[in-house]
Amino acid sequence: MPEEFYSGTVIEETDSGENHYALKGIEEKLSGIMSILQAGHDASQTIREQAEEVLDAHRQSAQEYLNKLNNDQDFHPFVTMPAGTTVRDLPDGGRLFVMADGIFVRTSPEGVIFAVMDDGEAAVLDPVRSGKVTLPDGRELMLKPEAVRVTHEAAGIEGLPLDIDPNQTAQGRYRVELPGGYRLDVLQSERTAMIGNPAGTSVVLGISRIEGVGEDIEVRLVPGGAKGFTAMESGHKGVIEADGTIHVTMANGLDLVIHFPDDDGSNGDPDSGNSPGSICEERD
Protein backbone atom coordinates (compact mmCIF):
# COMPACT_ATOMS: atom_id res chain seq x y z
CA MET A 1 0.00 0.00 0.00
CA PRO A 2 1.38 3.47 -0.83
CA GLU A 3 3.05 5.36 2.07
CA GLU A 4 0.81 8.40 1.76
CA PHE A 5 -2.01 6.44 3.16
CA TYR A 6 -0.15 6.26 6.55
CA SER A 7 0.97 9.88 6.84
CA GLY A 8 -0.91 12.92 8.30
CA THR A 9 -3.74 13.19 10.89
CA VAL A 10 -6.27 10.40 11.22
CA ILE A 11 -9.80 11.85 11.30
CA GLU A 12 -12.75 9.75 12.47
CA GLU A 13 -15.84 10.58 10.66
CA THR A 14 -18.92 10.31 12.98
CA ASP A 15 -22.38 11.77 13.11
CA SER A 16 -21.93 14.40 15.88
CA GLY A 17 -25.57 15.49 15.67
CA GLU A 18 -26.85 12.04 16.61
CA ASN A 19 -24.53 11.81 19.64
CA HIS A 20 -25.54 15.30 20.70
CA TYR A 21 -29.19 14.37 20.79
CA ALA A 22 -28.38 11.11 22.64
CA LEU A 23 -26.45 12.98 25.33
CA LYS A 24 -29.19 15.56 25.52
CA GLY A 25 -31.75 12.82 26.16
CA ILE A 26 -29.62 11.31 28.92
CA GLU A 27 -29.19 14.71 30.49
CA GLU A 28 -32.94 15.27 30.49
CA LYS A 29 -33.55 11.87 32.05
CA LEU A 30 -30.97 12.56 34.73
CA SER A 31 -32.51 15.95 35.34
CA GLY A 32 -35.93 14.30 35.71
CA ILE A 33 -34.52 11.76 38.13
CA MET A 34 -32.87 14.56 40.13
CA SER A 35 -36.18 16.44 40.22
CA ILE A 36 -37.96 13.35 41.50
CA LEU A 37 -35.26 12.77 44.13
CA GLN A 38 -35.40 16.41 45.17
CA ALA A 39 -39.17 16.31 45.41
CA GLY A 40 -38.92 13.17 47.54
CA HIS A 41 -36.30 14.84 49.73
CA ASP A 42 -38.46 17.95 50.09
CA ALA A 43 -41.50 15.83 50.94
CA SER A 44 -39.50 13.83 53.49
CA GLN A 45 -38.25 17.03 55.04
CA THR A 46 -41.80 18.36 55.27
CA ILE A 47 -42.97 15.11 56.87
CA ARG A 48 -40.05 15.22 59.32
CA GLU A 49 -40.92 18.80 60.26
CA GLN A 50 -44.59 17.92 60.71
CA ALA A 51 -43.69 14.85 62.76
CA GLU A 52 -41.41 16.97 64.93
CA GLU A 53 -44.24 19.41 65.51
CA VAL A 54 -46.54 16.56 66.54
CA LEU A 55 -43.85 15.16 68.85
CA ASP A 56 -43.30 18.58 70.38
CA ALA A 57 -47.04 18.86 71.00
CA HIS A 58 -47.06 15.41 72.63
CA ARG A 59 -44.04 16.31 74.74
CA GLN A 60 -45.75 19.49 75.88
CA SER A 61 -48.99 17.63 76.63
CA ALA A 62 -47.11 14.94 78.54
CA GLN A 63 -45.21 17.55 80.53
CA GLU A 64 -48.43 19.37 81.37
CA TYR A 65 -49.94 16.07 82.53
CA LEU A 66 -46.90 15.32 84.67
CA ASN A 67 -47.04 18.81 86.10
CA LYS A 68 -50.70 18.25 86.91
CA LEU A 69 -49.86 15.00 88.66
CA ASN A 70 -47.10 16.68 90.61
CA ASN A 71 -49.37 19.59 91.52
CA ASP A 72 -52.67 17.74 91.57
CA GLN A 73 -55.51 19.86 92.88
CA ASP A 74 -58.06 17.09 92.38
CA PHE A 75 -58.32 15.92 95.98
CA HIS A 76 -61.40 13.73 95.41
CA PRO A 77 -63.20 12.73 97.59
CA PHE A 78 -62.11 15.77 99.61
CA VAL A 79 -62.93 19.35 98.72
CA THR A 80 -59.41 20.43 99.63
CA MET A 81 -56.37 19.27 101.60
CA PRO A 82 -53.70 21.09 103.62
CA ALA A 83 -50.99 22.86 101.61
CA GLY A 84 -48.15 20.56 100.56
CA THR A 85 -50.30 17.41 100.33
CA THR A 86 -49.36 15.05 97.52
CA VAL A 87 -51.82 12.62 95.92
CA ARG A 88 -51.22 9.16 94.50
CA ASP A 89 -53.72 6.94 92.69
CA LEU A 90 -53.38 3.36 93.96
CA PRO A 91 -53.62 0.20 91.81
CA ASP A 92 -56.78 -0.97 93.61
CA GLY A 93 -58.62 2.23 92.70
CA GLY A 94 -58.10 3.97 96.02
CA ARG A 95 -56.11 7.14 96.65
CA LEU A 96 -53.30 7.99 99.05
CA PHE A 97 -52.87 11.49 100.45
CA VAL A 98 -49.54 12.30 102.05
CA MET A 99 -49.61 15.50 104.06
CA ALA A 100 -46.62 17.74 104.52
CA ASP A 101 -46.35 16.75 108.21
CA GLY A 102 -46.15 13.03 107.34
CA ILE A 103 -49.75 12.01 108.04
CA PHE A 104 -51.28 9.54 105.58
CA VAL A 105 -54.94 9.49 104.58
CA ARG A 106 -56.13 6.63 102.39
CA THR A 107 -59.45 6.10 100.64
CA SER A 108 -60.53 2.68 99.41
CA PRO A 109 -62.65 1.95 96.31
CA GLU A 110 -65.48 1.02 98.70
CA GLY A 111 -65.40 4.51 100.24
CA VAL A 112 -63.67 3.59 103.51
CA ILE A 113 -61.39 6.38 104.72
CA PHE A 114 -58.65 5.91 107.30
CA ALA A 115 -55.67 7.88 108.52
CA VAL A 116 -52.21 6.91 109.80
CA MET A 117 -50.74 9.55 112.08
CA ASP A 118 -47.05 10.38 112.46
CA ASP A 119 -46.89 8.27 115.65
CA GLY A 120 -48.24 5.21 113.79
CA GLU A 121 -51.77 5.48 115.16
CA ALA A 122 -54.35 4.33 112.60
CA ALA A 123 -58.01 5.23 112.68
CA VAL A 124 -61.04 4.78 110.42
CA LEU A 125 -62.63 8.14 109.63
CA ASP A 126 -66.42 8.10 109.57
CA PRO A 127 -68.19 10.96 107.79
CA VAL A 128 -70.37 13.06 110.06
CA ARG A 129 -73.70 14.48 108.98
CA SER A 130 -72.10 17.74 107.87
CA GLY A 131 -70.02 15.79 105.33
CA LYS A 132 -66.73 16.05 107.21
CA VAL A 133 -64.23 13.57 108.59
CA THR A 134 -62.13 14.35 111.65
CA LEU A 135 -58.49 13.30 111.98
CA PRO A 136 -57.32 11.93 115.36
CA ASP A 137 -55.51 15.26 115.96
CA GLY A 138 -58.79 17.15 115.60
CA ARG A 139 -58.36 18.57 112.11
CA GLU A 140 -61.38 18.30 109.83
CA LEU A 141 -61.48 17.45 106.13
CA MET A 142 -64.54 18.37 104.10
CA LEU A 143 -65.87 15.73 101.71
CA LYS A 144 -67.40 16.47 98.32
CA PRO A 145 -71.18 15.95 98.35
CA GLU A 146 -71.02 13.19 95.73
CA ALA A 147 -68.48 11.30 97.83
CA VAL A 148 -71.02 10.57 100.55
CA ARG A 149 -73.80 9.65 98.12
CA VAL A 150 -74.22 5.91 97.65
CA THR A 151 -76.34 3.66 95.49
CA HIS A 152 -79.69 2.35 96.64
CA GLU A 153 -78.19 -1.16 96.68
CA ALA A 154 -75.24 -0.13 98.88
CA ALA A 155 -77.65 1.36 101.42
CA GLY A 156 -79.87 -1.74 101.16
CA ILE A 157 -83.00 0.24 100.28
CA GLU A 158 -85.46 -0.79 97.58
CA GLY A 159 -88.25 1.40 96.23
CA LEU A 160 -86.60 4.81 96.37
CA PRO A 161 -87.30 7.23 93.51
CA LEU A 162 -84.50 7.13 90.95
CA ASP A 163 -83.60 10.77 91.51
CA ILE A 164 -83.03 10.32 95.25
CA ASP A 165 -79.66 9.02 96.47
CA PRO A 166 -78.83 8.01 100.04
CA ASN A 167 -76.00 9.80 101.82
CA GLN A 168 -73.50 7.93 103.95
CA THR A 169 -73.34 9.62 107.34
CA ALA A 170 -70.98 7.10 108.96
CA GLN A 171 -69.66 3.64 108.31
CA GLY A 172 -72.75 1.48 107.76
CA ARG A 173 -75.15 4.39 108.31
CA TYR A 174 -77.21 6.05 105.58
CA ARG A 175 -79.68 8.92 105.41
CA VAL A 176 -82.30 9.66 102.77
CA GLU A 177 -84.32 12.86 102.48
CA LEU A 178 -87.76 11.85 101.20
CA PRO A 179 -90.68 13.76 99.65
CA GLY A 180 -93.04 15.43 102.06
CA GLY A 181 -90.36 16.37 104.57
CA TYR A 182 -89.73 12.80 105.76
CA ARG A 183 -86.27 11.45 106.55
CA LEU A 184 -85.08 7.85 106.62
CA ASP A 185 -81.98 6.72 108.51
CA VAL A 186 -80.69 3.17 108.06
CA LEU A 187 -78.23 1.75 110.61
CA GLN A 188 -76.94 -1.46 109.11
CA SER A 189 -74.85 -2.60 112.07
CA GLU A 190 -77.87 -2.23 114.41
CA ARG A 191 -80.21 -3.64 111.73
CA THR A 192 -82.52 -0.74 112.43
CA ALA A 193 -84.24 2.02 110.47
CA MET A 194 -85.65 5.28 111.78
CA ILE A 195 -88.25 7.46 110.06
CA GLY A 196 -88.28 11.14 110.94
CA ASN A 197 -91.61 12.87 110.40
CA PRO A 198 -92.30 16.51 109.48
CA ALA A 199 -94.12 16.95 112.80
CA GLY A 200 -90.93 16.15 114.71
CA THR A 201 -91.89 12.63 115.78
CA SER A 202 -89.90 9.51 114.88
CA VAL A 203 -90.54 5.82 114.32
CA VAL A 204 -87.79 3.31 115.17
CA LEU A 205 -88.02 -0.02 113.32
CA GLY A 206 -86.10 -3.23 114.02
CA ILE A 207 -87.02 -6.84 114.73
CA SER A 208 -85.93 -6.41 118.35
CA ARG A 209 -87.09 -2.81 118.71
CA ILE A 210 -90.23 -1.13 117.40
CA GLU A 211 -91.15 2.11 119.10
CA GLY A 212 -92.27 5.64 118.51
CA VAL A 213 -90.71 8.84 119.71
CA GLY A 214 -93.50 11.32 120.20
CA GLU A 215 -96.19 8.99 118.85
CA ASP A 216 -97.72 5.59 119.60
CA ILE A 217 -96.90 2.45 117.60
CA GLU A 218 -99.22 -0.54 117.42
CA VAL A 219 -97.24 -3.80 117.12
CA ARG A 220 -98.66 -7.24 116.29
CA LEU A 221 -96.93 -10.59 116.03
CA VAL A 222 -97.14 -12.46 112.73
CA PRO A 223 -96.62 -16.23 112.29
CA GLY A 224 -93.04 -17.17 111.48
CA GLY A 225 -91.43 -14.64 113.78
CA ALA A 226 -92.34 -11.50 111.86
CA LYS A 227 -93.88 -8.39 113.38
CA GLY A 228 -96.40 -5.99 111.95
CA PHE A 229 -96.58 -2.34 112.95
CA THR A 230 -98.68 0.76 112.47
CA ALA A 231 -97.65 4.28 113.49
CA MET A 232 -100.83 5.77 114.87
CA GLU A 233 -100.14 9.47 114.22
CA SER A 234 -97.88 9.51 111.14
CA GLY A 235 -99.62 6.56 109.45
CA HIS A 236 -96.58 4.48 108.45
CA LYS A 237 -97.23 0.75 108.50
CA GLY A 238 -95.60 -2.48 107.46
CA VAL A 239 -93.98 -5.75 108.47
CA ILE A 240 -90.54 -6.66 109.78
CA GLU A 241 -89.46 -10.18 108.84
CA ALA A 242 -87.70 -12.48 111.30
CA ASP A 243 -84.34 -11.85 109.58
CA GLY A 244 -84.75 -8.09 110.11
CA THR A 245 -85.87 -7.12 106.60
CA ILE A 246 -88.23 -4.15 106.87
CA HIS A 247 -91.22 -3.62 104.59
CA VAL A 248 -92.77 -0.23 105.14
CA THR A 249 -95.52 1.69 103.41
CA MET A 250 -94.89 5.31 104.25
CA ALA A 251 -97.47 8.02 104.69
CA ASN A 252 -96.10 9.80 101.58
CA GLY A 253 -97.00 6.76 99.44
CA LEU A 254 -93.55 5.17 99.06
CA ASP A 255 -93.29 1.40 99.49
CA LEU A 256 -89.78 0.62 100.71
CA VAL A 257 -87.93 -2.59 101.50
CA ILE A 258 -84.85 -2.27 103.69
CA HIS A 259 -82.34 -5.12 103.66
CA PHE A 260 -79.47 -5.72 106.06
CA PRO A 261 -76.29 -7.81 105.77
CA ASP A 262 -76.54 -11.51 106.59
CA ASP A 263 -77.79 -12.01 110.11
CA ASP A 264 -75.28 -13.09 112.77
CA GLY A 265 -77.93 -15.01 114.71
CA SER A 266 -78.69 -12.24 117.22
CA ASN A 267 -82.11 -11.36 115.80
CA GLY A 268 -80.91 -7.79 115.51
CA ASP A 269 -79.81 -7.57 119.18
CA PRO A 270 -76.06 -6.78 119.25
CA ASP A 271 -75.82 -7.87 122.92
CA SER A 272 -77.37 -11.23 122.35
CA GLY A 273 -75.26 -14.36 122.14
CA ASN A 274 -78.21 -16.61 121.51
CA SER A 275 -79.50 -18.15 118.33
CA PRO A 276 -82.56 -16.55 116.77
CA GLY A 277 -85.65 -17.02 118.83
CA SER A 278 -89.03 -17.93 117.49
CA ILE A 279 -92.09 -15.85 118.12
CA CYS A 280 -95.08 -18.11 118.06
CA GLU A 281 -97.70 -15.83 119.56
CA GLU A 282 -100.01 -13.88 117.30
CA ARG A 283 -101.99 -10.92 118.49
CA ASP A 284 -104.50 -8.79 116.66
Q: What is the pLDDT of residues 226-246, one digit of tens each?
A: 999 999 999 999 999 999 999
What does pLDDT average to over the chain?
Answer: 79
- Contacts for 100 with CB less than 8 Å, ≥ 6 apart: 82, 83, 84, 85
Least confident of 80-89, 97-106, 146-155, 263-272: 263-272
Give the pLDDT band of residue 280 (cuts 50, 70, 90). very low
Q: Which residues contact 55 (CB under 8 A, 6 or more apart)?
A: none
Strands 122-125 and 113-116: antiparallel
Read off the pLDDT of residues 241-278 as tens digits, 9 standing for 90 and up: 999 999 999 999 999 999 998 754 444 443 444 433 33
Sketch the domain layout of the chain as residue ranges: 18-71, 86-147, 153-258
Q: How far apart are CA 243 and CA 279, in angstroms?
A: 12
Q: What is the pLDDT of residue 274?
A: 41
Q: pTM here?
A: 0.53
Alpha carbon distance 139, 282 (integer Å): 53
Distance CA 201, CA 183 (A): 11
